[in-house]
Structure 1
Amino acid sequence: MAPPLPELPETADGRLYAEIQRFYARQVRLLGEGDVDRWALTFTEDAVFEQEAPADKVFAGNAPPVRTGRAAIAAAARGAVGERRADGRVRRYLIGMLTVRPASDGAVHTRYDAVLVQTPRGGPCELHLSTTGRDELVRHDDGWLVRHRVNSHDSVAGSHTGTEQEEHHGRSDT
């Protein structure tokens, strides 16, 4: 007889899970299409965006690894998108392995794996990087906004996949 499966942590119901999937689908499409202004609106005004990444993989390579505020997040993304457009590169963001956990304060904590695929002008598609993302989302009007994002690039020495505590950005849901 096989051992029992471990209990899974409390997760979102199907409706909430689908809402969060739609949020990410829209968000990554906006960034992939280079619509930085609309993409930035998917973050709260005071959002924090952290990247645990090699210097050349932090957006345009000249952005700080931690950006605070929608304007700073948009500025870093704008530089990266501009560089890609100038070089004729197309980038797509694929998100999967999504975990959605509601918090007692109404926020939602997510964890996902992301693969960034890039196609240079006239060239073959290539894997740009893979990363684990951990977000804290808050409801806004009829949708969601990112309040805190941590992206851990797999190529970083000592990169981790995130513990329960890290997934909740150091906060307890109880």
Structure 2
Amino acid sequence: MSSTLSALAELRAEVEQFYATHFHLLDSGAAEEWALTFTEDGAFHPPSGADPVRGRAALTAGVGAGYQRLLEAGEVHRHWHGMVAVEAAGDGTVRAKCYALILATPVGGTARVHLTCVCEDVLVRDGEKLLVAERRVTRDDLP
């Protein structure tokens, strides 16, 4: 394997591991820990087209409230990312683009696909770890 291909494979594996940890935190309701996987001023551009959510405090609040709504509704959501494409950008960032499925399961019920999306991230390094600097999510069912 060429050194370029080997480096890309290592980067892709690192990004996939990051996503596994990141989305396990989200789906378990660990809002503060999940927000710590963003930069201090990280931005999440929601698929609704609303203004981006910026900063760890706002990210924590939004995810915490969303998780509480799911608990009250008796529903579990799981995020599944696949077809992850990564690119090391010249500015030191990592660009990642993937397909995302959000599966919803009512307690005692049958799982269903809640949403299908495209997730585009700009990831940056903080020492040895990756953090999300910016995330854009585009829903497949919206124009």
The TM-score normalised by the length of structure 1 is 0.75
Partners of 1:53 and 1:114 lie apart in 2 by 16
Q: Which residue of 2 aligns with 1:58?
A: none
Residue 104 (structure 2) aligns with: 118
Cα displacement (A) at 1:52: 2.3
Give the deviation of 1:65 after TM superposition: 4.2
Q: Which runs of 5+ in 1 are unaligned?
A: 1-9, 55-63, 158-174
Structure 2 Cα separation of the partners of residues 127 and 89 of structure 1: 13
Distance 2:48 2:83 in 1: 20
- Tell me the distance in 1 between the aligned counterparts of 2:130 and 2:116: 24
Which residue in the other structure is 2:130 paired with?
A: 144
Equivalence for 1:45? 40
Once superposed, what is the RMSD of the aligned Cα atoms?
Answer: 1.7
CA distance in 1, matches of 2:139, 2:59: 18
| 1:28 aligns to 2:14 (yes or no) | no
Residue 72 of structure 2 is matched in structure 1 by 86
1:51, 1:153 within 8 Å by CA — same for their partners in 2?
no
- What are the superposed Cα offsets for residues 1-56 of structure 1, whole Å, 9 maximum, x if unpaired? xxxxxxxxx9x6111110011000110111111111111100001111101238xx
Q: Is the 8 A contact 1:96 1:114 kept in 2?
A: yes
1:125 Cα offset (Å): 0.5
Deviations 1:49-75 (A, max 9, x none): 101238xxxxxxxxx541111111221
Residue ranges of structure 2 left out of the alignment (5+ in a row) = none
Q: Is the 8 A contact 1:30 1:36 kept in 2?
A: yes
- Identity score, percent: 36
> 1-side partners of 2:142 and 2:60: how far apart?
24
Task: String of CA shifts for 1:88-123, please: whole Å, max 9, x gaps.
Answer: 211111000111000112110110000000101221
Compared CA separation, residues 100 and 70, structure 1 to 2 (3 A): same
Higher Cα Rg, which structure: 1
Paired residue for 2:10? 15
The match for 1:105 is: 91
Q: Does the C-alpha gap of structure 1 residues 152 and 130 become closer, same or farther in structure 2, counting only changes over 3 Å? A: same
The count of aligned residue pairs is 139
SS at match of 1:22: helix
Structure number with the higher helix fraction is 2
Partner of 1:57: none
